[in-house]
Amino acid sequence: MAKRIAILGSTVSTGRSALEVLRQLGPDFELVGLAANTQWAALAAQVKEFRPRRAVLSSTELFPRLVQSIGADAVELATGPTALDDLAGSDEVDVVLNAIVGASGLPPALAALRAGKTLALANKECMVMAGELLCRVAEESGARIVPVDSEHSAIFQAMRAGEPAEVRCVWLTASGGPFRTLPAEALATVTPQQALQHPTWAMGPKITVDSATMMNKALEVVEAKWLFDLDASQIRVLIHPQSLVHSLVEFYDGSTIAQLGVPDMRVPIQYAFTHPERRPSAVPAADLAAVGRLDFEEPDPCRFPALALGHRAAEAGGTLGAVLNAANEAAVRAFLDGHLRFTQITQLVAEVMDCHVPRHNLTMETIYEADHWARQEAQAWIARS
């Protein structure tokens, strides 16, 4: 029987890569659902190509255009506040790829887990904000969370070499971003245009800035804590400019298992779909002889203060992850709009975190309250700066 897949966020980069993977995988995998936010024309084109059973457009304002483009009888079309959750929890779906950007991806992630689905999670904000809640729901329902981030997919794969209790630590690798070798005193004058030039990956503006500050790695530290049930002290970061080693797992017997490959999101996406099996891929293997060398270095905590914030949020748990994520989103937006200096991004986040007393035993209400509070505090900080 074919594995039935729904893609939430099918018009963003990760969603488009997932469709490329499905084109290659063949009849053992059936695309049964697609969902997008506002890009109705791109969604309509995908529906016409793949003929899923359901398609969701979150924008109720633009939904009539989707209906007009496709025809109401072609597939089941839906919009409205519960449409994403209904698709994610549908009996017609086995695997939900959640590629929705930001906090809006949290409700359908929970819906998928409550329904016992395999959640292929490409939305790191969900795990940073609500890792405690997501893991609790997955345990109660018997659902599985399979990471799609390249670093966490690498850890997920490498951990198969041993038992969880045998893990000494994990190493998240990072390219170091565009400012790895820039003199520290020059960071204060970095422009948004400079910050958007990533050396390895083509990504959206927000995540590209996160890579430049290494806040993306701070968020991944929190994500790793929940995904792999680790202490914050077991999660370490290495700068690896070639971006071929995606992460490493160090075991107590002195063995270190790494996952290597060319930087291509189709690899972790496909593994999330086919797990625990592997299938042939259109992605070429890394040519290590051509690369010639692999470099690693410890990140400079003075240059990248965001890393300490990630470890702090991972250690504290509770709502501090939601505060970290929300304050950073506000700070990055202000930087891109010209209202903050580059170095003020992590300064703002740190000071907002300083003012927060984490709450535990998370619910959706406490998570959203913390998120809202952090955004208000961040806006007040920006107004004062």
Summarize pLDDT for 325-376 with one digit per residue, the tens. Answer: 999 999 999 999 999 999 999 999 999 999 999 999 899 999 999 999 999 9
Tell me the two tokens of residue 364: 């959706």
Residue limits of CATH 1.10.1740.10 in the chain: 153-264+289-384
Residue limits of CATH 3.40.50.720 in the chain: 3-147
How much is the pTM? 0.93
| Local structure of 282: helix, strand or coil | coil
Task: Report DSSP state, residue 8.
Answer: E
Provide the pairing of β-strand 54-57 with 29-36. parallel
* 126: nearest Cα among 102, 150, 144: 102
What's the sign of the alpha-carbon dihedral 52, 126, 160, 140?
A: negative
pLDDT tens digits for range 262-277? 999 999 999 999 999 9
Residue 157 corresponds to which amino acid? Q
pLDDT tens digits for range 120-164? 999 989 999 999 999 999 999 999 999 999 999 999 999 999 999
Percent of the chain past pLDDT 90, that is, above it, reads: 87
Spatial contact of 78 and 90, defined as CB atoms under 8 Å apart: no
CA–CA gap between residue 335 and residue 98 (Å, rounded): 27
pLDDT tens digits for range 23-48? 999 899 999 999 999 999 999 999 99
Q: Looking at the DSSP assignment, which residues form a beta bridge with residue 250?
A: 169, 256
Name which CATH class applies to 153-264+289-384: mainly alpha
Residue 239 corresponds to which amino acid? I
Spell out where 107-157 has E strands. Answer: 118-121, 144-147
- Going by pLDDT thresholds of 50, 70 and 90, the confidence category of residue 195 is confident
At the topology level of CATH, where does 3-147 sit? Rossmann fold (3.40.50)
For the chain, how far is it from start to end, CA to CA, in angstroms?
58
What's the sign of the alpha-carbon dihedral 241, 100, 318, 306?
A: positive
